[in-house]
Structure 1
């Protein structure tokens, strides 16, 4: 079911599936996508979890405000969880959603039971060609990806949840592997399927996630 919550001064659309009495799982999509990014998995996960799949600010049916600071995007999800009465959740985030997830996990460690990061950029400076998209969301998020606040890498030491980092391997334009070195005790699994692991290699993605959740 698609719902809307007013949090942090914006409307945040989200899909909700499963029993609200079950443990909560939050699915965070990548940049330019929306909650439909997870359609292969939402109902499957809802067999065991209370699944919440929001549209991040600037995406889908959610509000498009003037600012897109990654910590603010994480606070949107914190506010949504509090509005839903959720005290702790499994977080799965892809790409930009993974960056939002690790900001949430380092700033609110008690809210996260398990952290699964699918091919997100590490908060380390990178060099890549300029974007052709000049929309505010793309411009501001890209600036933070290529030139992140140096405090963010240090902040990852505050993550306490068991963490799985999934790398898309050499086929991906993102190097997620360094992220696993920045998060205490993080496990790195490489699936050479490119940036969209969950859609390009669904069996391998599902197996890695299920194994980590069961472990």
Structure 2
């Protein structure tokens, strides 16, 4: 990506539409292991290991895909205003809040998948039985 080599875990059918998962600061691609099998049923899932360099934030406006940003609500250590700002930098970004803290996919995997699945279904390419 832009001449920078990134490590990532890959799962799902090679010909499926891509889904990129970004981990929390200090976490890695393995952080998504609980929800990846469900997401990978109908998507090619790229779980990235980012280097902690926030330079990628400056390029968010270049993303052309619809983007779902999940927020953990007031008990998250991440400022929710920052989440809203991040989504606002995306041309087609939207925020869904699941008030369980920062690691939503760990704290509430069912609610996480319930929020993500309809977003992916909007493309008509993902479903629990896919």
TM class by smaller structure: 0.7 to 0.9
Give the number of the structure whose residues are more often helix, by fraction.
Answer: 1
- Aligned counterpart for 2:8 among listed residues 14, 30, 37: 14
**Larger of the two Rg values belongs to structure:** 1
Contact 2:12 2:40 in 1 (8 A): yes
Distance 1:37 1:104, change over 3 A: farther
- Match of residue 167, structure 1, among 55, 58, 71: 71
**Bigger relative contact order (CA 8 A; separation at least 6):** 2
Q: Deviations over 1:112-146 (max 9, x none)?
A: x22122xxxxxxxxxxxxxxxxxxxxxxxxxxxxx
Extract unaligned runs of 5+ from structure 2: 123-130
Count the aligned residue pairs: 118
Q: What is the root-mean-square deviation in Å for CA atoms of aligned residues?
A: 2.6
| Structure 1 residue ranges without an equivalent (≥5) | 59-67, 75-99, 118-165
User: Residue deviations 1:80-131, cap 9 Å, x none?
Assistant: xxxxxxxxxxxxxxxxxxxx5xx4431x233xx22122xxxxxxxxxxxxxx
1:105 and 2:60 aligned:
yes
Match of 1:43 in 2: 37
What TM-score, normalized by structure 1, do the two folds share? 0.48
Contact 2:71 2:83 in 1 (8 A): no
Tell me which residue corresponds to 2:99: 192
